[in-house]
């Protein structure tokens, strides 16, 4: 399920931006 992996990566970046 590469889609899940891609989503996870995107979420991580979004989380960092939101945290900042």
Which contiguous run of DSSP H or E holds residue 10? helix 2-19
Instruction: For residues 7 and 9, give the distance between their C-alpha atoms in angstroms, rounded to a whole number.
Output: 5
Where do we find the tokens 């960092």?
16
| pLDDT digit string, tens, across residues 1-20 | 567 888 888 899 999 998 97
Q: Give the predicted TM-score (pTM) of the model.
A: 0.27
pLDDT of residue 3: 77
Burial class (CB within 10 angstroms; exposed 0-12, middle 13-18, buried 19+) of 17: exposed
């Amino acid at each position: 399920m590469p889609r899940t992996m891609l989503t996870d990566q995107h979420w991580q970046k979004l989380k960092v931006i939101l945290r900042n």
